[in-house]
Chains A and B, each alone.
Chain A
Amino acid sequence: MASPKTVPKDAQVMMQILKDMGITEYDPRVINQMLEFTYRYVTTIIEDAKIYSTHAKKSNVDADDIRLAIQCRVDQSFTSPPPRDFLLDIARQKNQTPLPLIKPYTGPRLPPDRYCLTAPNYRLKFLQKKVSSSVGRITVPRLSVGAVSSRPSTPTLGTPSVQTVGTKVGTPVSLTGQRFTVQIPSSQTLTVRSKAPTPTTPTVQNVLINPSLMGSKNILITTNMVSQNSSSDSTSLKRKHEDEDDYDAL
């Protein structure tokens, strides 16, 4: 222990408090941590009390303000477990129901899926360059990611433009039962963003797997840049997934 001369008064007080509470062995850094906590707590309380006193249009902070500040903080940060009579009461209610029978021959016995952590919590997203072979498809509009998020009632519109995806992606894709929203490109901006039909490198299209729409099947919602009429004037290789990021609300 440092000699009393060099230890500041606050630290001495803290050491004395620890001694009074019966704590004799501790790391020296505990004093610093305790002091920091004390300082932060007291400052928070006094600041709160200042706010209350100004709200009450008092000129000075007085004991009532401090008391109020402490009370409010206690409910927030230093919660204590429920009182005993409350626990006994809820225990009585819960313990009255008999133990449920166990269904035989079920698989892993887990709660319903919404209470488990077994759902995938990710989406896959990758960009795929549209191949010019699909130039024949005139009417396939592009799909926007943003609309996907309004999933419950998405109209299905389906020309199998996704076929192109299937060949490019290479991952097993189940094309049945998909749902995707389609946004007919109406504005210029959309057309601008369509790709040039350079078939050299089939970059990956935007593929979106939205797991919440289905059970286990992969849904590919592709943003398919098809409109061929605008292919010529597009900024050719502008990657469009930045726009999809804008609609990334889910």
Chain B
Amino acid sequence: MAAVQDGPMELDAEKEAKPEILSDGTSNLSGNTASGTLSSSPLTAAPAGGAPKMEDQQTLIAVLQFLKRNKLSESVEILRREAGLGEHQEGSQATDGSGGGKGDGDGGDANSLLSRVSITSAAAPQSMPVKSDCIINIFRCDLPFMFMLSEDQPDVSVVLSAYSQQGDPPLYQVYYSGLKNFIESVLDCHRAELSQLFYPLFVHMYLELVYNNHETEAKAFFDKFSGDQECYYQDDLHILCGLTKKEHLKGNEVLLDFRTSRFVLHISRDSYQLLKRHLQERHNNQIWNIIQEHLYIDIFDGMPRSKSQIDSMSGSLAGEAKREVNKAKVFYGLLKEPEIEVPLDDEDDEAENEEGKPKKKKTKKDSLGSKSKKQDPNAPQQNRIPLPELKDSDKLDKIMYMKESTKRIRLGPENLPSICFYTFLNAFQGLTAVDFTDDSSLLAGGFADSTVRVWSVTPKKLRKVKSAGELNVIEKESDDVLERIMDEKTASESKILHGHSGPVYGVSFSPDRNYLLSSSEDGTVRLWSLQTFTCLVGYKGHNYPVWDTHFSPFGYYFVSGGHDRVARLWATDHYQPLRIFAGHLADVTCTRFHPNSNYVATGSTDRTVRLWDVLNANCVRILTGHKGPIHSLAFSPNGKFLASGSTDGRVLLWDIGHGLMIGELKGHTDTIYALKFSRDGEILASGSMDNTVRLWDSMKAFDEVETDDFTATTGHIHLPDNSQELLLGMYHSKSTPVTHLHFTRRNLLLAAGAYNSQ
């Protein structure tokens, strides 16, 4: 699509009209070489006289036709009214601009449209008149329609987001080198920030060349500049260098999303002014156009960031997170525990009273709930999301839990937990998922041969319920009927569950130990009963491998995440998901519930961790900073903090309330697949493919966080490099990668992994 000043406008072909509008718009933007005014000014069309005026009219008519065709009558009226008032180029330009922004992803956020337009208007000294607001209002009220349309007419959205030709292909190298030279010449303090531009610009320019079928130029461009990029983007560059043709782009969803979503950069105002001034002085500021179209620059007032600060936050596929995204209120407190009367049981109790435990003499109330009678302001309402009521068996479980917790060992830097390692022998690298029940009585393993095996960790064997015939003859009124219904003849230490047709990548026990969930490469999540050891339900929804699944801490709900880039919230009694958490740019590899069951954290291959609200599936936090796909997540028991581990060997600690990174634990040399906080949150254990389990002092890591106003608003924190101090212990296994970690109720650490004989 060559950018021609008086490009032909075929109004009969609506679809072509749209890209024509885009190229038209950009031709207006780029065509301004004569005047020294800002090229992005919408009024550049004016000096050209009659021809652009006609063009804008045609543009308006084209837009009108498009809206009419898609039955957006309201917008048609408004546009007709506004446009009928006169040929204001601002209006048409804004239409182009907003039209161009239409294809951008992220749910058609009107804010992003506005911000984009406001960046444009910041460039133009003349403020955008009311026209632009009207046009934006049109699009805002019809946004839902727009996106349903893009479903019926995928070509349109693709076309809208298509790359228009920004200039001569061979000149791309010139532009890029020009920018490089400029950035190398600025002051040190700005250089680090402006260097963030290199990677997104490089990728977008390369993809543009590929998309417009300039294969040789693309290859030359890639060869020349790929070496300059940051080391943590190497994996992406590998994928890119295999993409040389337009057809290659079609199947690659991740890159398609990259093209349509906007890469977010945080740049301080001073650096941004420098950049803007430089780019707008030049005659051919293609780079400025690309920045406007594909990048989102979140400007903050304050000191420019240092390289290390930037490095710690960057690395994700979509850049960093916009600041306003992380501003929503998150109720990270725990739900109040129900009051349960615990019957006195003298022979079980310890002789001495540990601190914080209620005295033996009176009936024990639930020590966790009674401390604060009033509502924790950070905790969600009890009925914010419907939760299952407590059954009698649940109450008994809770009593057991409280009894066990009185015997819990208090861990700390001087008091490290003992680690008991469960090694799976003869698994031949087929062990793909492990889970323990909360009371550590059962262990489940998911395997690459599509079986799930359940073992009993205690001497008590696994029993299943008798068959219907035998159940008829037992005495139903006896006291131990619950034991009588169990079949002694087939009691065994382990049971095998068959049913999946692909490797099982995630297993999760329900809190009441009645159910087991398993998610597999065949796209289904299966619910197994642990009383009959048979499969009860297969939940079909993801049609692609499901990488992880997790039961809610109160049962009934579970979440699953897979290759289709979404996580789904299910309830055991609905065959379809209740919520769909869409937003990640690449596969969702890890899903975890928050202890209060109101939020779900998902880690993804796009190197971000997102926190979703169960109530309305809004994404309330986007946490960037990892340099590789995230494979493990762990919430602290008090619900305030989240730890995440990825293939880059780092564990990052996040404060959920503020959405800030508060710690970075370096030390592992390979992917971290297991993360667990101890029962009181004092110690974080991490297990990785490098055959080690490391223990970190999380109390200290969380204490050292100071959040002043600046960090709270901008999210830029300076992390102390204290991984060595926080490391409390490192334990090697002989050659067994650690797949799962679990703290028992008494704070004994259990680890599981499959022996790897190579």
Q: Tell whether A pairs with B.
A: yes
Write out, one digit per residue, whether chain B residues 555-592 have a CB within 8 A of any chain A CB (1) or not (0): 01000000111100001111101111111010000000
- CB-CB under 8 A from A100, the residues of chain B are 386, 571, 574, 578
What's the least CB distance linking B382 to chain A, in Å?
13
**Is the pair A112, B575 in contact by a Cβ cutoff of 8 Å?**
yes
A11 within 8 A of B: no
A7 within 8 A of B: no
- CB-CB under 8 A from A111, the residues of chain B are 537, 572-575
B253 within 8 A of A: yes
Residue in A70, A91, A97, A99 whose CB lies within 8 Å of B582:
A91
CB closest residue in chain B, given A172:
B469
**A82 CA / B572 CA spacing, docked (Å):** 25
CB closest residue in chain A, given B572:
A109
A83 within 8 A of B: yes
B511 within 8 A of A: no
- CB-CB under 8 A from B580, the residues of chain A are 87, 90-91, 94-95
**Is the pair A88, B105 in contact by a Cβ cutoff of 8 Å?**
yes
Write out, one digit per residue, whether chain B residues 222-240 have a CB within 8 A of any chain A CB (1) or not (0): 0000000000001100100
Main SS class of interface, A: loop
- CB-CB under 8 A from B543, the residues of chain A are 81
- CB-CB under 8 A from B234, the residues of chain A are 22
B134 within 8 A of A: no
A104 within 8 A of B: yes
B617 within 8 A of A: yes
A21 within 8 A of B: yes
**Is the pair A87, B565 in contact by a Cβ cutoff of 8 Å?**
yes
Write out, one digit per residue, whether chain A residues 89-132 have a CB within 8 A of any chain B CB (1) or not (0): 11110110101111010101111100111100000000000000
CB closest residue in chain B, given A23:
B238
- CB-CB under 8 A from B563, the residues of chain A are 81
Stretch at the interface among B150-158, B631-639, B741-749: B150-158
Write out, one digit per residue, whether chain B residues 621-647 have a CB within 8 A of any chain A CB (1) or not (0): 000000000000000000000000000
- Given A89-B151, A100-B574, A102-B388: A84 and B256 interface contact (C-beta under 8 Å): yes
- CB-CB under 8 A from B581, the residues of chain A are 91
Interface residues of B in 343-391 (CB under 8 A from A): 385-389
**Is the pair A74, B251 in contact by a Cβ cutoff of 8 Å?**
yes
A86 within 8 A of B: yes
A78 within 8 A of B: yes
What's the least CB distance linking B85 to chain A, in Å?
33
- CB-CB under 8 A from B583, the residues of chain A are 88
- CB-CB under 8 A from B449, the residues of chain A are none
**Is the pair B151, A86 in contact by a Cβ cutoff of 8 Å?**
yes
- Given A84-B256, A85-B150, A108-B514: A99 and B564 interface contact (C-beta under 8 Å): no
A-B contact count (CB 8 A): 130
What is the total number of residues of chain A having a CB less than 8 Å from a CB of chain B? 40
B535 within 8 A of A: yes
A20 within 8 A of B: yes
**Is the pair B251, A80 in contact by a Cβ cutoff of 8 Å?**
yes
B260 within 8 A of A: yes
B601 within 8 A of A: no
What's the least CB distance linking A111 to chain B, in Å?
4
**Is the pair B573, A92 in contact by a Cβ cutoff of 8 Å?**
no
Write out, one digit per residue, whether chain A residues 115-152 have a CB within 8 A of any chain B CB (1) or not (0): 11110000000000000000000000000000000000
**A21 CA / B514 CA spacing, docked (Å):** 45
**Is the pair A102, B387 in contact by a Cβ cutoff of 8 Å?**
yes
CB closest residue in chain B, given A82:
B564
What's the least CB distance linking A45 to chain B, in Å?
13
**A82 CA / B562 CA spacing, docked (Å):** 12
B615 within 8 A of A: yes
19 residue pairs A–B, Cβ–Cβ below 8 Å: A20-B242, A22-B234, A74-B251, A81-B253, A84-B585, A85-B105, A86-B151, A87-B565, A89-B148, A89-B150, A91-B581, A94-B577, A95-B579, A102-B386, A102-B556, A112-B575, A115-B575, A117-B538, A172-B472
Known contacts A94-B578, A115-B537, then 20 further A-B pairs from the complex at CB < 8 Å, ordered by chain A residue: A20-B242, A22-B235, A81-B563, A83-B253, A83-B257, A84-B253, A84-B257, A85-B150, A85-B157, A87-B566, A88-B583, A90-B582, A95-B579, A99-B386, A100-B386, A109-B388, A109-B571, A109-B572, A172-B469, A216-B468
- 7 closest A-B pairs by CB: A91-B582, A95-B617, A115-B575, A81-B564, A91-B580, A109-B573, A111-B575
Binding site for B on A (CB under 8 A): 20-22, 70, 74, 78, 80-92, 94-95, 97, 99-102, 104, 106, 108-112, 115-118, 171-172, 216
